[in-house]
Amino acid sequence: MQPPMQPRMSVQPPDAPHHEPDFEALRERAFNLRWATVAPDVIPLTAADPDLPVAREVTEAIADYIARPHLSYGPACGLPPFREAVARHFAREKSAPGVDAARVIATNSAASAITLVARHLLTAGDEVVVQDPVDFLVAESARRAGAVIRRWEPTPGGSGGGPGAAGGSRRRFTAAGLRALLASPEGARVRLVSVCHPHNPLGSLWSAAEVAEIAEVVAAHGAALLSDEVWSDVLLDGAGFASFAGQVRPRLAPWVVYGLSKGYGLAGLRIGAVVAPDADAAAGFAQAQGFEHTIEGVSTLSQVAATAALGHAGAWRSEFLAHCTRQRDLAIDRLAALPGVRIDDAPEATFVLFCNIEGTGLSEDVLAERIERIARVKVVPGSPRWFGPGAAGHLRLSLATTHTVLEEALDRIVRAWPAIIAPGADTATMAP
Amino acid sequence: MQPPMQPRMSVQPPDAPHHEPDFEALRERAFNLRWATVAPDVIPLTAADPDLPVAREVTEAIADYIARPHLSYGPACGLPPFREAVARHFAREKSAPGVDAARVIATNSAASAITLVARHLLTAGDEVVVQDPVDFLVAESARRAGAVIRRWEPTPGGSGGGPGAAGGSRRRFTAAGLRALLASPEGARVRLVSVCHPHNPLGSLWSAAEVAEIAEVVAAHGAALLSDEVWSDVLLDGAGFASFAGQVRPRLAPWVVYGLSKGYGLAGLRIGAVVAPDADAAAGFAQAQGFEHTIEGVSTLSQVAATAALGHAGAWRSEFLAHCTRQRDLAIDRLAALPGVRIDDAPEATFVLFCNIEGTGLSEDVLAERIERIARVKVVPGSPRWFGPGAAGHLRLSLATTHTVLEEALDRIVRAWPAIIAPGADTATMAP
């Protein structure tokens, strides 16, 4: 048997930049519509999972942990250092100084956390506000809890969008829009308001003032609040972030879901957290949802990796965010020039880009199929089943790959565009 | 920053026996009533989680994986090599040649798997057979699904028990007992029969003939079957194992739950699996329980570790099982000699020992508290809330520590026993 450090040295020498992806590894490992699932000549800009290697501090922490080869039961609600690291991260970086470790419960991914919180807060027949469009998980979780969904639509904007916007006008979910919905007959019996903050797929980011205003609207209605903040580490243009976990006010119980899949590339480790409104609520959640009975819980090794990311990978994340900002600008620059494409929602956060393709006269499903077949790039159609009815007429592209790969993907799309939108394109393919 | 391999080399040199626990690590890491949660002078023989280091093949596989620092989304139902390794393990070692990878779904621990299968098979008001005594998780999961529990009691034996038995007579869950329960008014509406195989806490192991007979009884009743086989890797005296996953017969849908916490010491990684009755049932389970939506799923790193354990840690497990067999003999030898203690259930499998303490005239809770306070050893009382009403009057000891530690713990109990069972012991402590 080989000494265990040899393969690590050869693949990841200490002087390597640790930035270049190992595409061979991605072809083996990156599932969920990505490299391991597409044809060899197709570039996936699909699931929101970076192609970039994780921070060296993460793999070092894992190696250090297994150097003492004990993988015993962890504590039900998470390792104390993990819970403390999440609390510190929210307190210092997310304008939520009141978050302490007792409010944090480690969960087996943010997706799992959303479902558990929805199950915890809802009973069959309850009404829930869900943004439209938005990532499908909250609606899916509400449906599993037997709840009735009330859709909150964004307000059309007129300012021409935020940084990097090109054409179109940014839509925005506003406190006024929420207030109007809750005041309508549709909203009267709403028990829970859910938000995705920052917003996937629109890439919009609420300011601290907007967060406070929305919290006030929810509190005034007497509803609970579920804020999906899995994207809150991916802020572009150096933006800051105000978590709903920092909204301490009468009659408001904010439940925040967090995860490390987007900001630190740890999707495979399934590590996330619930930040409960207070310590008692956290304990009650853990008891009711089976954490105390080992029914729920998270791999300790995933928690060790996440703790290292939060504590020591700040430099990695700074570089990553600067890279994501440049990728956004590159993608908008190339795509906004295409006939039939409009960028209404230039991302202020996230590394996904939601493109309006209504001008092509083609549905999102047809267009996505043609882009894959003709340009050999896979994107996510804005199908109602993934993002709600309001997503129709859009495509979502994940941009968290290298500059070279994104440029190649965009080149392919731009070159193939006339063929893609041509009337006869359903049978066309590119010359090899 | 230090080169990452240095701490690994110093802690785990290639020529070290890799068998001696690192108790300092256990004091930091072993929760769930174990080293990290007890007073410094207390020995925990509590949660069923080995003190022994995991196999070197496991930590090497983790190190190899992170040498390529990509931790992308895995596939919804588990990594193909993990699913194949579990299928091969059942086919080759558990008399279930018909199990293939399509029947296997990776789960975030066996405990999670039990709850998911119970949720999948049961609707509120359904009736479920649960052994009494048995580990609490099936009853807890059935209760969460709103089901009604029908208790199946073991049949008193007369043979004087199996290997290592000392005094008392082994109780056994029998097909005849199950048939009688299902034929009674209590059993008429039973939709699901659950079994723990091998049995925690009794340590009993059904033969292939018994498994077939029980499967037949369940099939004749038209109920589904849930077999918790998390202990199926821990077989004493070189025994073999017949899984219910191998019971292919008309009208029987066996759902098997498996995990690597007991046989390979991977409790912290939360890695288990469901083996469904067939590929379609597995796919339906994965869809209904949210695997396809990333709501459920398992850390890829945990799957990599488990795949290495199943594929390459056979020698480690052989040594571990021989050790567990010796530990059982040592514990029975010492404990059966104590006044008021009877070993009715000498384990044929598992590394737990269930001791009858009715002869002391003390309740299991009082006795466990006194053993911890006076002898400085922590054991698990046979409380109805952990093991069902039939567990009263018993203590459960986990024996998967070193010979030295177990001997010390037993010495302490034996020395302190007169004080422990003395009438005034509620205020006594040992001299320091």
Q: What is the ipTM of this complex?
A: 0.93
Residue in A with minimal Cα distance to B269: A299
Q: What whole-number distance in Å separates Cα of residue A125 and Cα of residue A143?
A: 10
Nearest CB to A71: which of B64, B68, B266?
B266
Q: Considering only A150-159, A300-309, B279-288, B367-376, which range has the smallest mean pLDDT?
A: A150-159
Question: Is the pLDDT score of B5 beyond 50?
Answer: no
- Cβ contact B70–A30 (<8 Å): yes
- Cβ contact A72–B29 (<8 Å): yes
Task: With beta carbons under 8 A apart, name residues in chain B contacting A112.
Answer: 295-297
Which of B71, B266, B295 to probe by mutation at the A interface, max A CB count within 10 Å?
B71
- Cβ contact A112–B22 (<8 Å): no
Average pLDDT of the residues of chain A:
92
The per-residue pLDDT for B349 is: 98
Tell me the pLDDT tens digit for each residue of A273-299: 999 999 999 999 999 999 999 999 999
First CA to last CA distance, chain B: 45
**Which helix (H) or strand (E) element contains residue A303?**
helix A300-312
Q: What whole-number distance in Å separates Cα of residue B111 and Cα of residue B270?
A: 9
Distance from B81 to chain A by nearest Cα, in Å?
11
Task: With beta carbons under 8 A apart, name residues in chain A contacting B295.
Answer: 111-112, 114-115, 137, 140-141
Tell me the pLDDT tens digit for each residue of A347-388: 999 999 999 999 999 999 999 999 999 999 999 999 888 999
Distance from B296 to chain A by nearest Cα, in Å?
6
Task: With beta carbons under 8 A apart, name residues in chain B contacting A27.
Answer: none
Question: Is the pLDDT score of B67 beyond 60?
Answer: yes
Q: What whole-number distance in Å separates Cα of residue A357 and Cα of residue A379?
A: 13
Question: Is the pLDDT score of A222 beyond 50?
Answer: yes
Pairing of strands A394-398, A380-381: antiparallel
Residue in A with minimal Cα distance to B48: A73
- Cβ contact A301–B297 (<8 Å): no
Q: What whole-number distance in Å separates Cα of residue A365 and Cα of residue A44?
A: 16
Q: Considering only A73-82, A226-235, B18-27, which range has the smallest mean pLDDT?
A: B18-27
- Cβ contact A66–B68 (<8 Å): no
Strand, coil or helix: A343: strand
Q: In this structure, are residues B134 and B200 in contact, taking their beta carbons and an 8 Å threshold?
A: yes
Average pLDDT for residues A217-229, to the nearest whole number? 97
Q: In this structure, are residues A341 and A360 in contact, taking their beta carbons and an 8 Å threshold?
A: yes
- Cβ contact A70–B22 (<8 Å): yes
Under the banding of pLDDT at 50, 70 and 90, the label for residue A17 is: very low
- Cβ contact B108–A111 (<8 Å): no
- Cβ contact A66–B63 (<8 Å): yes
Q: What whole-number distance in Å separates Cα of residue B13 and Cα of residue A250?
A: 58
Under the banding of pLDDT at 50, 70 and 90, the label for residue A18 is: low
Q: Which of B158, B123, B128, B141 is nearest to B274 (CA)?
A: B141
Q: Considering only A34-38, B1-5, B79-83, B176-180, which range has the smallest mean pLDDT?
A: B1-5
* Residue-level length of chain A: 432
Question: Is the pLDDT score of A250 beyond 50?
Answer: yes
The per-residue pLDDT for B11 is: 31
Q: Considering only A1-15, A171-185, B119-133, B220-234, which range has the smallest mean pLDDT?
A: A1-15
- Cβ contact A297–B49 (<8 Å): no
